[in-house]
Amino acid sequence: MRTFYESDIRKRALVLSFILAAWAAVVALRLVQLQVFGYARAKAAVLKQNQDKITMEPRRGNILDRNGEILACSLPAVSVFIRPVEKETPETERTKLRDLQGLLGLSEKEVSAILGRLRNKASFTYVKKKVSEEEAARVMALKLPGVDFEPADRRHYPLRGLAAHVLGGLSLTEDNKNGVELRYDDVLKGKEGEKVVFKVSGGRDYQTQVIQSPVPGRDLVLTIDATIQYYAEKELARAVAEHDAVCGTVIVMEPFSGEILALASFPSYDVNDFPGPKNAWMNRAVQLSYEPGSTFKIVTAAAARERKRVGFSEVFDCSAGSISVGGLIIRDHERVGILSFPKVLIKSSNVGTVLFAQRLSIEEFYETIKAFRFGTKTGIDLPAEASGKVFPVKEWNRKTSLSHVAIGYEIMATPLQILQAMNVFATGGRLVRPRIVKDGAGPAAGPAGDADSPVRIISEQTAEELVGRVFEEVVEEGTAKLGRLDGFGIAGKTGTAKKYDAALKTYNTGRYMASFVGFTPIDRPRLAMIVVLDEPKEGTYGGQVCAPVFRDIARQVLRYLRVPPERPLTPRILTAGMEREKRP
């Protein structure tokens, strides 16, 4: 029989067991609540605390010239970032950022933006992207809590300003791009990867798990030749300085492939400092639309000859030095007398050109202009190309427009469009689309196949006749005599266009756009080139200021390409210590 005490102890033990069981049940239920029903929320909270998803930047593709020389490449750099540290006072955070500001050259705006993010408990904030490894080492030495580093790439342009307008550039934050860096950004930048970094409560990483590896960008091979580009830029800069021009541009192209060998625009900038001075950004070769003046007469001549409206032996009376067209006077730069058709172009007579152009109808002339693709972008692989301006036929003044367009006014074209038109004569009548990317662009390169193949727009006979009887003579005895190159024939056309002042509504501004477009050698053309100088002050004519630049660049390029002279060189006669030239 149980005593009273035994019975009491039993009762107490039972009650205690019950209480303990109830407590265990409560704990178990709470665990179920946390682990089962609150699983997703708890997991998210833990993950937020203990891991970071970090974007892995891919290596940006290199940009190479046609010979494989590096024009742009990416080198490892370091991005500095910061995470909030538990129990850190705002004062400490501020002091920490002041230290970083001193070392990394942060602006006040950047510092306050970072402090704002830290106060909002943002788990990851970049302090500065892509600093040099030396700068990163200096920050590392401070051993600041919460400050960490991740590898990144930084863009370098070893040839600094060379081909600046082709390369364009890439700002440090990569939100501002230009040139092929912009046009082929999708190809160059590759594909971002992603990784998860697991960390301890202090913020230190203890494990990294790559979710998706970054795909590096593809290398891009340009048609540019660094050496030819250098010749073009050097001579252009010299010409701009010599003639006190506002700006200028030179394009050198391989006639049959349309590959751009050099594209220079002045003023230029160091691509490493992109974005540099804003006035230097403009790529005048493809973005400048201007009234071309006499260089456009190559199209007028092609239209008239192709339709047999003018013969080479026909003569035109230009002795008055001017002609009245619909009440407006078109003048020659000097009285040139009675000229044959070739001489009209060789001496660049506006009067003679108007006389033979008037044998065309507006519709016929317009058709030829459009066939030469004026008013349409050439399709070169560069951003922001201008299309120029060709007014539709219905907007032409029936009395005056044909004459004005015939001499290169009332029409806007880019230097590249004028070069493309002259190149038609170099290729025997075919229009070739200019290209700046040789390899690596893939489908991003734009039209291919039939759209990319040369298109015949004038007959071979028309092209050959105009080259042999007109454009070659422009350099031999015409307006571009200063552009003669010993050993080589050059076919070309000069242009000196008066600039229109929209405010004053007049062409009598005393400001000119001088140009020369041509190709050489004549038998087997290796290069087509245009030189444009905007507002030259020391000499204004294209033949005076641009043809010599063409000659100087062509001499160096032909030698560099090892093209032997197509004609015998002028013998040098040495007499009693004197050296002088004697032409045959």
Partner 1 sequence: MVRRKWSAKGIALGAALLVAVIGTLTFYVWYQTESVKLGIDVGKAEGRIRELEKTIETLKLRRAALLDPARVEKIARESLGLVDPKDDEVIYEKRDPSR
Write down the least CB distance from residue 75 to partner 1, Å.
6
Write down the least CB distance from residue 318 to partner 1, Å.
37
Edge-first strand listing for the sheet containing 205-212: 51-56, 193-199, 205-212
Cα 236 from Cα 515, distance rounded (Å) = 12
Q: Does 227 bind partner 1 (CB under 8 A)?
A: yes
Q: What is the number of other CB atoms lying within 10 angstroms of the CB of residue 203?
A: 17
Candidates 51, 69, 171, 393; binder of partner 1 (CB under 8 A) is 69
Residue 461 CA neighbour count, 13 Å, CB half? 4
Q: Does 230 bind partner 1 (CB under 8 A)?
A: yes
**523-562: contacts with partner 1 (CB under 8 A):** 555, 559, 562
Residue 151 in tokens:
């590898």
Q: Does 565 bind partner 1 (CB under 8 A)?
A: yes
Q: Does 158 bind partner 1 (CB under 8 A)?
A: yes
341: buried, middle or exposed (CB in 10 Å: 19+, 13-18, 0-12)?
A: buried
Residue with Cβ nearer partner 1 (150 or 364)? 150
Q: Does 578 bind partner 1 (CB under 8 A)?
A: no
Q: Does 195 bind partner 1 (CB under 8 A)?
A: no
Q: Does 160 bind partner 1 (CB under 8 A)?
A: yes
Residue labelled with tokens 């004026």: 374
Cα 163 from Cα 226, distance rounded (Å) = 8
Q: Does 226 bind partner 1 (CB under 8 A)?
A: yes
Return the amino acid letter for 422: M
Candidates 38, 76, 277, 311; binder of partner 1 (CB under 8 A) is 76
Write down the least CB distance from residue 198 to partner 1, Å.
17
Only segment of 27-35, 45-53, 74-82, 212-220 that touches partner 1 (CB under 8 A)? 74-82
Cα 304 from Cα 363, distance rounded (Å) = 13
Q: Does 234 bind partner 1 (CB under 8 A)?
A: yes
Residue with Cβ nearer partner 1 (76 or 102)? 76
Which stretches of 254-307 are DSSP H helices?
Answer: 284-287, 297-306
Residue with Cβ nearer partner 1 (84 or 565)? 565
> Quick one: residue 93, left, alpha or beta (phi over 0 = left, psi -120 to 50 = alpha)?
alpha
Cβ atoms of residues 463 and 522 within 8 Å: no
3-state class (DSSP) for residue 105:
coil
Only segment of 100-108, 158-166, 288-296, 366-374 that touches partner 1 (CB under 8 A)? 158-166
Residue with Cβ nearer partner 1 (160 or 335)? 160
Q: Does 162 bind partner 1 (CB under 8 A)?
A: yes
Q: Does 75 bind partner 1 (CB under 8 A)?
A: yes
Cα 5 from Cα 303, distance rounded (Å) = 129
> Quick one: residue 507, left, alpha or beta (phi over 0 = left, psi -120 to 50 = alpha)?
alpha
Only segment of 17-25, 226-234, 343-351, 526-534 that touches partner 1 (CB under 8 A)? 226-234
Question: What are the distances in angstroms from CA 159 to CA 72, 227, 305?
Answer: 8, 11, 46
3-state class (DSSP) for residue 225:
coil
Cβ atoms of residues 103 and 138 within 8 Å: yes
Q: Does 209 bind partner 1 (CB under 8 A)?
A: no
Return the amino acid letter for 457: I
Only segment of 66-74, 167-175, 348-356, 516-524 that touches partner 1 (CB under 8 A)? 66-74
Residue 525 in tokens:
């053309």
Nearest to 151 by CA among 76, 209, 81, 73: 76
Residue with Cβ nearer partner 1 (12 or 160)? 160
Cα 198 from Cα 41, distance rounded (Å) = 18
Q: Does 2 bind partner 1 (CB under 8 A)?
A: no
Spell out, one character per residue from 454 to 493, where the chain touches partner 1: x when CB under 8 A holds, - when not: --------------------------------xx------
Nearest to 250 by CA among 65, 563, 518: 518
Residue 517 in tokens:
């477009």
Spell out, one character per residue from 321 to 360, where the chain touches partner 1: x when CB under 8 A holds, - when not: ----------------------------------------
Q: Does 70 bind partner 1 (CB under 8 A)?
A: yes
Residue with Cβ nearer partner 1 (71 or 118)? 71
What is the separation, in whole angstroms, between the first and last Cα of the chain? 149
Nearest to 517 by CA among 375, 421, 402, 373: 421
Task: Check residue 144 and report its DSSP letter.
Answer: -
Q: Does 564 bind partner 1 (CB under 8 A)?
A: yes
Write down the least CB distance from residue 573 to partner 1, Å.
12
Only segment of 40-48, 224-232, 287-295, 461-469 that touches partner 1 (CB under 8 A)? 224-232
Residue 263 in tokens:
């594209």
Spell out, one character per residue from 105 to 144, where the chain touches partner 1: x when CB under 8 A holds, - when not: ----------------------------------------
Only segment of 21-29, 86-94, 223-231, 413-421 that touches partner 1 (CB under 8 A)? 223-231
Residue with Cβ nearer partner 1 (477 or 486)? 486
Q: Does 214 bind partner 1 (CB under 8 A)?
A: no
Read off φ and ψ for residue 46, nearest 5 degrees.
Answer: -65, -45
Cβ atoms of residues 408 and 240 within 8 Å: no
Residue with Cβ nearer partner 1 (162 or 336)? 162
Write down the least CB distance from residue 167 to partner 1, Å.
13
Q: How many residues bind partner 1 (CB under 8 A)?
A: 26
Nearest to 308 by CA among 338, 341, 337: 341
Q: Applying CB under 8 A, which residues contact partner 1? A: 69-71, 73-76, 156, 158-160, 162, 226-227, 230, 234, 486-487, 555, 559, 562, 564-565, 569, 571-572
